[in-house]
Structure 1
Amino acid sequence: MNKHATGDGTVGKALDVLEMVSAKGRPVRFSELLNESPLPKATLYRLLQTLVSQGMLSYGDEQQTYALGIRLVRLAHQAWRQSSIAPIARPIVSALSETVGETVHLAQLDNGQVLYVDKRNAKDPIDMYSQAGKVGPGYCTGVGKALMAFLEPGELDQVIAKQSFYRYTPATLADEASLRADLDTIRQEGIAYDREEHEPEIICIAAPILSPKGRPIGALSVTTSTRRKSLDELKEAKPELLKAASEIAAAVSDWQFPG
């Protein structure tokens, strides 16, 4: 059953339906949505028809399935350009990946989780979960912890309350106390690490991108595999990583970043 809140009227319900379709990652039938939605059958059907007519969803007659629509794609692209630091940061992200020879991620916080807004693969790319546009956990990724460490205490409490603390690997920080201890260390050192906490064999070093007032507006990471480098070897990228994070911060300092 879908657990999304539907207290925001028709618009809120329609957005919940869009998220349900998006979460499937494939075209989905009405019966599947009905099984998961708290909405009455007639209401769900009406919302789907409205979303289709507005181009936010598309409907395939042959398979009788719903998928995200082209209008939504256009809106998403504009949101990426207007509400993401990625367009400004892109040349710096590319240069960092070229310099260190590893995969570089750019991420922002999204409702307590990590939204990957850009990615530059190494010349010899490694298969991993993270891709631009994907959402990942905050508590067990380098970029997530780099972002969380520099939040104001009250905001940090809210973000921590949204973490699932699911143990992905034996190295995952699977409780609040362990996470808070790691965040204290990150604040002192200015960098965060993913020690195979989200995916086996995947490690990274990450740095926050801070506004002039010290607010985290993004995070940057250099990622590789333990098959290629040790964490100590990856730490050698720290100077270049911090330099790139500082350059991005300077590039967006006059930009009215969305609150």
Structure 2
Amino acid sequence: MNSGTAASDKMLDLLETLLGGNQNGSLRAAAETLGLPSSTAHRMAAALVRRGFIAPAQRGHYVSGMRLANLVARSNPQDTLEAVSRPTLRALASESGATTHLGIWDGEMVTYLVKQAGRGATLFTSEGGQLEAYCSAIGKVLLAHIDPAKRDAYLSAGPFIALTDRTKIDPADIQAELDEVARLGFALDQQEIAQDLFCIALPVRDAGGTVIAAVSLSVTGAAAKWVEPPAALRRCVATIERRLGTGGTD
């Protein structure tokens, strides 16, 4: 790492610690947390103030600057997730031949933000479309990682409809499967949404470890009975998480 990159990283660390840590905007506390000399911290803070990313509040304390606030206000996390994920899901569809999806929890349903077709049969899913969570692979991943109170409310709000003869509709059975999904780290849909459709999904986490989405592979045909996530699916998720800022670089 060259000196310019190191200095940029330190300034970004200071910005994040000032505004997102437990220092309540205290420059002194942030500098101590990061091991920065006081003079360096003040120099960096002055640069951030000039650019409008932070603004001085009470003595020695800073808040988000108007420029940063305006940038954040114009951003849409879903747009970021979609843009970051699309090329990676396209590559995964090309490599695997399966249809790839990225979905989020939205109004107690799965909403698909990205769909990339594979080489197999055309699926009925669509970008912006929704599916039930309790019987889809992406939905199971998301349900397994939402707040337990929200999950309990969801499971108690049935009835659940059997879309095929393999769909689990008893809340106790659904909860048992969600416990297994949380333990294994992935979910399967084995002809539960539609006959002859098989899916496998992995969670996508943000920098804090919170599950914010899930990625799936979907194919038709009995030969596609996965028992664990393929390496290509794991690589896809790891790439998305890196690009979202969970650590590392491409």
Specify if TM > 0.5.
yes
Asked whether 1:92 is paired with 2:88, we answer yes
Mapped pair 1:241 → 2:238: no
Q: 2:77, 2:86 → 1: CA distance?
A: 14
Give the Cα separation in 2 of the matches to 1:111 and 1:220.
18
Distance in 2 (alpha carbons) for counterparts of 1:86 and 1:204: 20
Aligned 8 A contact 1:138 1:163 in 2:
no
Compared with structure 1, are the counterparts of its residues 162 and 95 closer, same or farther at alpha carbon in structure 2 (3 Å cutoff)? farther
Counterpart in the other structure of 1:212: 207
Quick check: 1:194 aligned with 2:189?
Answer: yes
Q: Quick one: distance in 1 between partners of 2:228 and 2:209?
A: 25
Matched, 1:230 2:211: no
Cα shift at 1:91: 1.0
After TM superposition, the structure 1 = structure 2 runs for residues 154-169 of structure 1, keeping only pairs within 5 Å, are 154-162=149-157, 164-169=159-164
For 1:180, the equivalent position in structure 2 comes to: 175
Take 2:242 and 2:159, find their aligned partners in 1: how far apart are those partners? 34
Identity of aligned residues (%): 26
Q: Specify the code of the residue in structure 2 equivalent to 1:205.
A: I
Give the Å deviation of 1:158: 3.3
> Offset of 1:161 from its aligned partner?
4.1
Q: Contact between 2:186 and 2:229, CA under 8 Å: does it hold in 1?
A: no
Helix, strand or coil at the partner of 1:172: coil
> Does residue 151 in structure 1 map to residue 146 in structure 2?
yes
CA contact (8 A) 2:144 2:182 kept: yes
C-alpha deviation, 1:90, in angstroms:
0.8
- Give the superposition deviation at 1:119: 0.6
Q: Are the structure 2 counterparts of residues 200 and 217 from structure 1 closer, same or farther at C-alpha, using a change threshold of 3 Å?
A: same
Compared CA separation, residues 225 and 215, structure 1 to 2 (3 A): same
Which residue in 2 is equivalent to 1:24?
Answer: none
The 5-angstrom pairing of residues 1-259 of structure 1 reads: 83-84=78-79, 85-124=81-120, 126-162=121-157, 164-226=159-221, 229-231=223-225, 234-235=226-227, 238-253=230-245
**Aligned residues, how many?**
172
8 Å contact from structure 1 (residues 205, 238) kept in 2: no
TM-score by length of 1: 0.61
Higher radius of gyration, 1 or 2: 2
SS of the aligned residue for 1:214 comes to: coil
Structure 1 gap segments, 5+ residues each: 1-78, 255-259
Kept after mapping to 2: 8 A contact 1:96/1:104: yes
Structure 2: how far apart are the matches of 1:122 and 1:80? 31
1:205 alignment partner, SS class: strand
Return the offset for 1:164.
Answer: 4.5
2:204–2:214 Cα contact (<8 Å) kept = yes
1:79-133 CA distance string (max 9 Å, x none) = 9965341111111111111111111011111111000111111123x23321111
Which structure 2 residue ranges, 5 or more long, are not aligned? 1-73
Deviations 1:180-232 (A, max 9, x none): 111111111111000100101101111111123332111100000125x230x
> Would you say the 8 A contact 1:203–1:224 is kept in 2?
yes
Report SS of the residue matched to 1:139.
coil
Task: For 1:200 and 1:115, locate their aligned partners in 2 and report how far apart those are by CA, in whole Å.
Answer: 21
